[in-house]
Structures are given as C-alpha cells and as structure tokens.
Amino acid sequence: MPEVLKAPLVVEFPFTRSLGPVQSAFLTGLRERVVLGVTTTDGRTLVPPVEYDPVTADDLRDLVEVAPTGTVTTWAWNHAPRRGQPLSTPFAWALVRLDGADTALLHALDAPGPDAVHTGMRVRIRWAEQRTGAITDIACFEPYDGDPAELTGSDGEFADPVAGIVAAARLDYTYSPGRAQTAYINSLADRRTVGERCPSCRKVYVPPRGACPTCGVPTAEQVEVGPRGTVTTFCIVNIKAKNLDIEVPYVYAHIALDGADLALHARIGGIPYDQVRMGLRVEPVWTDGARYPDHYRPTGEPDAGYDAYKELL
C-alpha cells in the first residue's frame, strides 16, 4: 500500500462587513486612541461594546469611554504565534477588563514569558502606529504599573467614521484525500483511471471514495475504467472564471467512462461548443506532465444510445 498523499490547501477570501452604529463608533474610537464601551439598562459597561444586551436583548446605544489601562482577568500563553497573529514572538492571549468596564476584552499581551504574566496584573494598551479603525489599532497590551489612565473626554462622535471593514479570512489545511483517492491520483500519473467496485451492489465508483454511499461498505476492489467515455449531460459556460485561461464559451460535461457507474466532470474540446450533445463519445487529451486530462475530445465513434447511459445521469 503506497503512502497516502497529503498536501497543503489554503482557503482564503476577504470578508467585507458593515459595522452598524456601535461597532462603527468602537473601531473609529480605536483609530483616535479612544476606547468606547456601551452601557446597559442595569448600569453595566460592556467592552467591547455590543448592539444588544446579552441578558435582556435591549437595544444598546449609550456609548461611554473607558480607560486604556486595565487588569488581566485570565490568560493563556501562546508558544508558537501563527501567521497573522498580533505579535510574531511568543505572547499571552489575555482577557483584559479595562478600567471603567465590567467585561473583558480579548487581545495579545506582550510579555517576556509566561512567568511574567499573572491574573490580576495591570496592563495598558500599546497603540499601533498606523491606525485605520480596526481591532489591530490596539497593537497589543503591555505590563503597566500604575493607576487608571485619564480619559480623553470623547463623546463617541468622530469625523469620518468607519462604516465597514474587510476581514481577511484564511484557513490553512493539510489535506489528505485518503487511501482510495490516493490510489486514484497515483494511477492518473500513469494515465490510467482506476475506480473501486462495491462488493455488494457491484457499482464502480470513479473517482473512488473508499466506501459505497448506498450500501455503506468499504470498496477495496480496484477496477480500471475508460479511457473512453460518454457525455451524459453538459452545460455551456459563458462566464470567464478568474485565473482560468480558457476562452468562453466552452462546454463542461459529465462523462461516464466506460466501465464506471458514476460520471466525472471535465471540459470538452476539439468540437464547436454548439455541437456537443448527450451520448457523444469522448476520450481524454493529456498535456505533458499533467496529472489529469486537460480535456476530453470526440472519438469519432457513433453516439451512445440513451439506454446505455440513462442510469448515469
């Protein structure tokens, strides 16, 4: 059994959100080195502020300034900071109750090591030099040995308030396709397409998933299929995808390879897009060094009859 494949996979996109009045004031305040909380109907001050009281669900709009100094209420040491975290050297994630607030704010605390951090220690905000109206305008917290800092006297009204933010979402995976698809990918390197047959219903799955979704049993028997196949259904693509160097319109089709009981999908080439049809017989076209066919093209055989592929639609 060859080693199961794995590779890094990054899913990344910019997430744009509008802020609403409370978050807008909070982030605009950070830009101006002012920390704002919101007051609840029972007189507590929530920092970071929220738009609705978490207990009563009342609308909350009364903004109030709190100090940039506070007390650590709990913390955890981060031995190995990851990409995009506030500090590149090891630091503490800390909940800090700012002076004047009743709740705590999560942020990074810059300290030489875990021995230098304790619950109850006093800290203050270290402001970022470039501030844009984001939580990262607080670069981090740092140890501070003193009384609550003075307030700026802000009423929470600012010129040019921040109305929205773009938060970069990024997920780093190590993706493993598993035993079955590893075997499938490895055979593609030899330009062979290998599926797996269910021992119960006898269906051949291409690409294989390692188990039959209908019978719920493992599929271990390997079966080579193709290389030719039949177009079972298709669509004409008229929208050019970003980073995809294919002229539109082109045809994307479901193709049942000979011997397979599941259609895979691929691009159809070598034929005008408006002449592609159900039942068209096709074969793979490989480019040098590729790990899967670039596209499929007509073989010139007569079309397959509908009965030959009607169960594969």
The binding site for Zn ion (CB under 5 A) comprises 198, 200-201, 212, 214-215
Q: How far apart are CA 263 and CA 255, in angstroms?
A: 5
Round to whole Å and give the CA distance between 208 and 210.
6
Tell me which H or E stretch contains 214. Answer: none
CB of 210 to Zn ion, least distance (A): 12
Measured from the CB atom, is 138 or 212 closer to Zn ion?
212
CB of 185 vs Zn ion, minimal distance in Å: 22
From first CA to last CA, the distance across the chain in angstroms is 33
User: Which residue's CB is nearer to Zn ion, number 64 or number 212?
Assistant: 212
Least distance from C-beta 205 to Zn ion, angstroms? Answer: 9
Q: Closest approach of Cβ 241 to Zn ion, in Å?
A: 35
Nearer to Zn ion, 188 or 198 (CB): 198
For residue 191, give the nearest of 224, 142, 229 by alpha carbon.
Answer: 224
Q: Two tokens at 194?
A: 């290998």
Read off the tokens for 281. Answer: 């017989």
Could you tell me if 87 and 141 are in contact, meaning their C-beta atoms sit under 8 angstroms apart?
Answer: no
Cβ within 8 Å of residue 277, ≥6 positions away: 231, 303
Cβ proximity to Zn ion, 119 vs 200, nearer residue: 200
Identity of the residue, 108 or 198, whose beta carbon is nearer to Zn ion in the bound complex: 198
Smallest distance, Zn ion to C-beta of residue 203, A: 5
